[in-house]
Structure 1
């Protein structure tokens, strides 16, 4: 067995051992080249996608220096890119948190100067009305939402990313938003961001859930009425960038 095959075998064993990942329902392709381990395939939900990548990162596999995530989430319904973009833009317009952000949706690509050059054209849905302001540009390509621009706080970044994951029919979210002015995102900001997200999530009773964090590992405790609500709270936590793991100790009380 080659060194690469041995690494792939170790990685697969790690995924199979974790009860949150079902490789029968979510077949994950693992490959490695020049120290880069890549995960690809279509998985059943966001928790599986995020958990699989983070599990392998946390293991610090010998011979692996970088990771590439090409996993997508199986869409709950079929929707076109334009419909996904417009639905997200309308949802952000209704959210008061983003009134200080200019919101733009990618309209189309138009021919530009030079051979093969294309210019991306954005339609402005909202102009920021106060400072500090942000600029959020939304594109959707083959079911993947791409967020670019800048926002005034980590909470803005977390909430926009999560609302993008809430879209029915979406397959992936690339949150490239920068926080301006730049600063390191603290654990306290992660907790504040998740609390805001849980309060906005209509499928979760946020008052019944407690959030603890240590070394960027989020632990959820409390109680909810259904397994679906418990799973949604965990998925919301995985939406935050910079999370090392999510421990879901929420109880279901019917």
Structure 2
């Protein structure tokens, strides 16, 4: 058996063992060449996407991954509609009020918000349901918040968060905790005051009480949406 075929088979076997990845309902296409694994297809939730990438990266011989894994959209939307919703969400958030907002339409920038005292700039482009954020913001929290807001748009199939942070900040677990808390506080369907958040090596743990199983799942999804979160341990309990 050739090395390429063996590694593809090992990745497929690892994905079969991962309970959050349902290859029978959402099959993924795998290809491998020169240390680069290509993964393509749809999954039903953000957890499945991130876990699939992590599991594949752990297979010996996989040096790089070309990520073409997309979420099955909650609502079918055209790219222009997704872009409009993302821009509206960014405009409405007070923590991003100092940022200029630009929409990239057919490769050309269109001003959504520009002020004389703009601190930071966010460019929003959507390609086949994939939201691409470029520009620069002043904090890691702002970068992560912009990404979560983009993920929350029902038509979003993926978010590529290319925002720079200027001046640069050192990332750490405390920064992740702050971002997850912020996401939970902004989610109208989650009671963040009842949830405790901790993080170790980019693995987030959620503890506390929620009203129902739906809120439990939504809180976990919010944590997964945060940039650089590699794993979420959901210890939330449903009130009885």
Which TM-score applies when normalising by structure 1?
A: 0.88
Q: Which whole-Å CA distance do the structure 2 matches of 1:197 and 1:43 have between them?
A: 22
Alignment RMSD = 1.6
Q: 2:160 aligns with which of 166, 174, 177?
A: 174
Residue in 2 aligned with 1:35? 35
Query: Paired residues, what number?
Result: 240
Contact 1:143 1:170 in 2 (8 A): yes
Shift of 1:2: 2.5
Residue in 2 aligned with 1:98? 96
Q: Which whole-Å CA distance do the structure 1 matches of 2:56 and 2:8 have between them?
A: 11
- Trace 1:185-204 onto structure 2 (pairs within 5 A): 185-204=171-190
| Runs of 4+ that moved beyond 4 A | 128-131
| CA 1:253–1:13: 2 relative to 1, 3 Å | farther
Shift of 1:129: 6.0
Gaps of 5+ in 1: 109-119
Residue in 2 aligned with 1:11? 11
- Trace 1:49-88 onto structure 2 (pairs within 5 A): 49-57=49-57, 59=58, 61-88=59-86
Which TM-score applies when normalising by structure 2?
A: 0.93
Residue in 1 aligned with 2:145? 159
Gaps of 5+ in 2: none
Q: Which whole-Å CA distance do the structure 1 matches of 2:115 and 2:21 have between them?
A: 42
- SS of 1:204's equivalent in the other structure is coil
Shift of 1:126: 1.3
Q: Which whole-Å CA distance do the structure 2 matches of 1:186 and 1:217 have between them?
A: 11
- Trace 1:92-171 onto structure 2 (pairs within 5 A): 92-108=90-106, 120-128=107-115, 130=117, 133-171=119-157
Residue in 1 aligned with 2:46? 46
